[in-house]
Amino acid sequence: MVSYEFSVAQGLIKLDPTFGTNGISEIGFSGKVFYCTDAFRQIDGKIVCGGDIQEDWPYEFDDDFCFFRLNQNGTIDPSFQSVVYFNEHPGKIETLFKIDTQTNGHILAVGRVDSDKLGICRLNPTNGQLENGFGPYYGRQIFPAYTDRADFILTQDEKIILMGRNSPNANTILYKLNANGSLDSDFGDAGKSILKPMFPYKGLMGNSLVV
């Protein structure tokens, strides 16, 4: 993790010496391979990081979501760390694409789970643990939409629009969720909408959502 400070007057970007060691914070997990794929800053200035951790490296490629938090100075916050499993079968790949926060501070994370599905989970903003009451799987919700890219946005009424890919024809599929992770039945076909191209035999693959 790298922190920069930007000077408009000088037009320069340089490392922030107050963060980590000379602007760089190196994070490691003993005996495990970790890839940080997204991060955001909480209102208190702490940085929540999320990515994939290979739990059984080098014996099996068994990736899971992993979350940790840095203090403002780049040191690890020991009160916030978790590994989230979406399956109980070794060898399944889970790839985190995006994390963000709701207006109430609760943390959402979305990505590919169980190798070929779309998953979203919600974390407690205090300790990073899964929050019961979101989705049917103790803080987790899984959809049958294979994806090599996923995204989500929050609406003004705190509902969640989730994007994935509808296999096998590679069309983009959208799910709209209520704040508790359940499908919004007023959206599309019982909470989901498949975006199909105008031309036959072609896929329509979305990469991101904007609001």
174 or 165, greater pLDDT:
174
> Which residue do the tokens 């359940």 mark?
182
pLDDT at 13: 62
Indicate the pLDDT class of residue 132, thresholds 50, 70 and 90.
confident
Q: Judging by DSSP bridges, how do beta strands 63-70 and 47-54 pair with one another?
A: antiparallel
60 Cβ contact list (under 8 Å, min separation 6): 90, 91
Q: Is 71 helix (H, G, I), strand (E, B) or coil?
A: coil
Greatest Cα pair distance, the chain, in angstroms, is: 56
For residue range 78-113, list pLDDT tens digits in order: 999 888 877 655 556 678 889 999 888 899 999 888
pLDDT of residue 7 exceeding 50, the answer is no
pLDDT at 183: 93
Within 10 Å of residue 155's Cβ, how many Cβ atoms? 12
For residue range 17-74, list pLDDT tens digits in order: 788 787 777 776 666 677 788 999 898 989 999 888 876 655 455 678 889 899 988 8
